[in-house]
A and B are shown apart, each in its own frame.
Chain A
Amino acid sequence: DAGVTQSPTHLIKTRGQHVTLRCSPISGHKSVSWYQQVLGQGPQFIFQYYEKEERGRGNFPDRFSARQFPNYSSELNVNALLLGDSALYLCASSPVPNSPLHFGNGTRLTVT
C-alpha cells in the first residue's frame, strides 16, 4: 500500500510569495494533519482536518490556511511568505482522529 505522499519534495520561494503544498493520505484514512518542523525541533501542529472539516488549529497566523477535498487529499497554503517560514512541512494521515499518525516525508520549503 502507498504511504502518505507529499508534493513537491523541495521548494524555493521568495519573501512575499505564496505557496501551496499537497498531501495524499493513505487510502481509507479520513483525517489529515499538517505540521511544521524547524531543524532541531519537534513538529509543530498547524491544522487537522477530518471528514473535510477543520477540526483543530495550532498557533499559526492567518497566512496559513488549508483544506481537505472529497477524496481526503489536502492542501496547505501559506501567503506572504517570511524567511521564518523556511521549514520542513509534514503531512500525516490517520483513519480517525486520536489514533497513530502516518507521516509523509515532507516538503522542504526554503524562503529567500
Chain B
Amino acid sequence: GESVGLHLPTLSVQEGDNSIINCAYSNSASDYFIWYKQESGKGPQFIIDIRSNMDKRQGQRVTVLLNKTVKHLSLQIAATQPGDSAVYFCAENTGGFKTIFGAGTRLFVKA
C-alpha cells in the first residue's frame, strides 16, 4: 500500500548544530507534504508544509526541501536546541482526504 518512509530512525546532534531529517515518499501523485513533531505524551504538532509546485520553503529555523524527481523530502533545523528533541514525521497527501504518515525519526539533541 501507500507508504512514506524515512532513511534514519534515530538522529543524534550536538546542540547548536544543524539537523537534517530525510524522508522518501512512494506516491508520485502526492501534491502536499507536511512535517510534524511529536513529543512524548502529546499528539503530533505541525511544523511546516510544502506544496508540489515548490522546491523549498522556509520557516523559523526550519526549512523543507522537496525533490519530486527522486521523491524525497527533507527537514532542516538550524541551530538545533534541546527543545527540538522529539520524533519527527513526514506526511503526504494526494489532494484527497487521506494524509499518510511515515514511521518517524527520533531526534536526540546533546547538550
Residues of A within 8 A of B (CB): 4, 33, 35, 41-45, 48, 50, 55-56, 58-59, 90, 92, 97-98, 100-106
Assembled-state Cα–Cα distance A103/B38 (Å) = 10
Interface residues of B (CB under 8 A from A): 1, 4, 32, 34, 36, 41-46, 49, 89, 93, 95-104
Are B49 and A98 within 8 A (Cβ)? Answer: no
Q: Is the interface of B mostly helix, strand, loop or mixed?
A: strand
Docked-complex contact A48 and B97, CB < 8 angstroms:
yes
How near does chain A come to B105, taking the closest CB pair, in angstroms?
Answer: 10
With the chains together, A59 CA to B98 CA distance in Å? 11
- CB pair A90 B95 closer than 8 Å: no
| Residue among B41, B43, B95, B103 making CB contact with A92, cutoff 8 Å | B43
Contact of A103 among B41, B44, B49, B102 (CB under 8 A): B44
**Are B44 and A101 within 8 A (Cβ)?**
yes
Residue of B nearest to A50 (CB): B97
A56 in complex: contacting residue of B43, B46, B96, CB < 8 Å: B96
